[in-house]
Structure 1
Amino acid sequence: MIDYGLDLSTVPRERALPGLIAEGDELDAFVSAAPDWSRPTPAAGWTIAHQIAHLAAADANVLTAIRTPEAFDAVPKDADLDAAAGAAEPRSDLLERWRTGRAELAAALGDVPLDHAFPWFGSQATAVLMVPLRLMETWAHGQDVFDALGATRRPTPRLRHIAALGVAGRPLSFSAAQSPMPAEEFRVELTGPEGELWTWGPEAAAQRVRGTALDFCLRVTHRRSRAETALTATGEDAGRWLDIARVFL
C-alpha cells in the first residue's frame, strides 16, 4: 500500500470524487478553447498536447489496475513515451479519449469498495487514496497548461485535497531526499481560497509551515520553487521540508 502517513479516510469519497470530476471539467473547458496545443509547457519537451495525453494515459492505467489487476504489470511505465504517442494523435481524437477515460474512471472509482486494494507501480492503492491523487495530478498538469498560455487560474476549495496529500507526503519527501524523517511533530497552517484556515498537526508543534493553500500546493507538486512562494517555515526541519517537499515519487 502506498503509505502517505495520514488517514485520508477523513475526507469521504463522496466529497473528493466530485472535486476530481470538477477539476477535469474545468481543465477541459480551458484547454478546449486553446487554439494551439503544440505550445510548449514548463515541462521540458512537453507541449499542451503532451500534458493532456499524459492525463489520459494515467486515467487508463488506473482503470486497468481496477478492472484487470492481473494485466497491470504490462502497463507502460515511461510517461514520456505515453505522452509523445498521445500528442501525435489528432487533437479531436485525443480530446475525446481523455473525456471518455475521465468519465469511465470517475464511475469506476465511485463504484469500487473503499477497502479494495489494486496495484499501482510497485505498491497498492485504494479509491480513498486514488481519488485525491488523480485530482492532484489533473490540477498539477493543468497548471502547466495554464502557465503555457500565460493564464491565471482561480483557486478553489478543491485545493484542500491536494494540500492534504502534501501534508501526508512529508515522510515521502524526506525518504526521496534520503534524509532521516524528523521525529518532531509538525504544524501546517494554510489559508484557503475563501480566507478559511486549514490546519494539520498539533497546535503547539515547534516545527511550523504557514502560507496560502495555493502556494503550498504549487510547491508540493513542484510547479513552483520555494523561493517563488510566500510560504514560511519555523524550525530547521520545517525549512528543510519546504526545500524537498513533494507529493509523488
Structure 2
Amino acid sequence: MATTSSPTAASVRDDLIAEQEALDPIVADLDSAGWGASTPSERWTVADQIGHLAFFDRTAAWAITDEERFRSSMAELTSGLDPSAGVDEMDRLTLGEYRAMSPDELLEAWRANRRDLADAAAGLADDDRVVWYGPSMGAKSFLTARLMECWAHGQHVVDALGVERDATDRLAHIVRLGVNTRGWTYVNRGLDAPETPVRLELDAPSGGTWTYGPDDAEQSVRGPAEDFCLVVTQCRHVDATDLVVEGDAARDWMSKAQAFAGAATSGPPA
C-alpha cells in the first residue's frame, strides 16, 4: 500500500481538463427539461451548476494572467453584495448572465472559459502563487480546487439526471485535498483543529490502495476513494456510503468534512 504520488501543476492541469471533458458530454445533448432539472444544491438547476463553473473558470483564468482584472471583478462582486439578500444576491451576481443564456450559449460559454483557464494554467510553475477570493494559493492547490469544483458540481448534475459516471484515479487530487483540509474544516467552524491521528485506507478506482496517516493510528476511515470524495465535498452523508469509520474523531471528521472554501456548511442528511 502507498500514498498517492505528488502531482505537479502541469499534471493537475491535465487532469482538470480531463475532468471537464468527462462532464461535457453528460450535458451537451440535454433538452430544456434536462437543463432545467433541479439538483441536490438548493435553488440550483443543472444549468446553474454549469453556469457556476463557467463563472469561476473565467475568473480563475483572469487570476492567473491578469491580476488587475481579477481584483477589479472581485471588487465589483463584493461591492454589489447586499448582505441582507443572502444567497439569492450571490446567485444574481455570479449566475445572472448565464441564466439569461440559451442552453447552447451556456455550453459554449463554459467551453470558452475553461479553454481560457487551460491556456492560462499552461504557464504555471509549481511554486507560483495565484490570487483568489481568500488568501493566494499555490499553483497546484489552485488547480486542484478547480478540479474538485468540476467533479463535485458534476456529481450534482449526474444525481439530478439519474445517470452514472465512472470513477477515475483523478480522484487522488480530491482525496489529497480532503486530507489537507481536515484541520481547516474545524478552524472554519471556530473549533480547535483535531490532534488525533486518523488512518485512511482508500480503494483506488484503478486498483490498489491510497493510504494516509500513521500505520498504527487507532482510528481509521476505510473504503472506496470515491465515497471519501463524496463525503468531503458534501455530496453524500457518510452513512450513505460504503466507508467504514472507526473511532469518534474519525467519525466527527467525516460528519463535518469540507474540502471547499467558504463559510462552514453541512452536507446532506443521512
The one of 59, 62, 83 equivalent to 2:60 is 62
Q: What residue ranges of structure 2 are gaps of 5+ in the alignment?
A: 79-88, 262-270
- SS for the counterpart of 2:105 is helix
Other-structure match for 2:170: 158
Other-structure match for 2:138: 126
Shift of 1:89: 0.9
Count of paired positions: 242
- SS for the counterpart of 2:122 is helix
* Contact 1:51/1:83, CA 8 A, preserved across alignment: no
Other-structure match for 1:12: 8
Shift of 1:118: 2.2
**Equivalents in 1 of 2:189, 2:255: separation in Å?**
10
* Contact 1:50/1:84, CA 8 A, preserved across alignment: no
Q: What residue ranges of structure 1 are gaps of 5+ in the alignment?
A: 1-7
* Contact 2:9/2:124, CA 8 A, preserved across alignment: no
**Equivalents in 2 of 1:219, 1:147: separation in Å?**
15
The 10-residue stretch of structure 1 (73-82 or 160-169) with the greater mean CA deviation from structure 2: 73-82
Shift of 1:138: 0.3
**Equivalents in 2 of 1:240, 1:220: separation in Å?**
12
- Which consecutive segments of 4 or more residues in structure 1 shift more than 6 A? none
**Equivalents in 2 of 1:233, 1:148: separation in Å?**
28
**Equivalents in 2 of 1:198, 1:72: separation in Å?**
37
Q: How do 1:1-249 residues align onto structure 2 when only pairs under 5 Å count?
A: 10-36=6-32, 37-73=35-71, 74-75=73-74, 76=77, 79-81=90-92, 82-249=94-261
* Contact 1:188/1:210, CA 8 A, preserved across alignment: yes
Shift of 1:21: 0.6
**Equivalents in 2 of 1:33, 1:80: separation in Å?**
25
What TM-score do the two structures reach when normalised by structure 2? Answer: 0.84
**Equivalents in 2 of 1:117, 1:137: separation in Å?**
19
- SS for the counterpart of 1:112 is coil
Fraction of identical pairs, as percent: 38
Shift of 1:43: 1.0
* Contact 1:54/1:79, CA 8 A, preserved across alignment: no
What TM-score do the two structures reach when normalised by structure 1? Answer: 0.91
- SS for the counterpart of 2:199 is strand
The 10-residue stretch of structure 1 (116-125 or 237-246) with the greater mean CA deviation from structure 2: 116-125
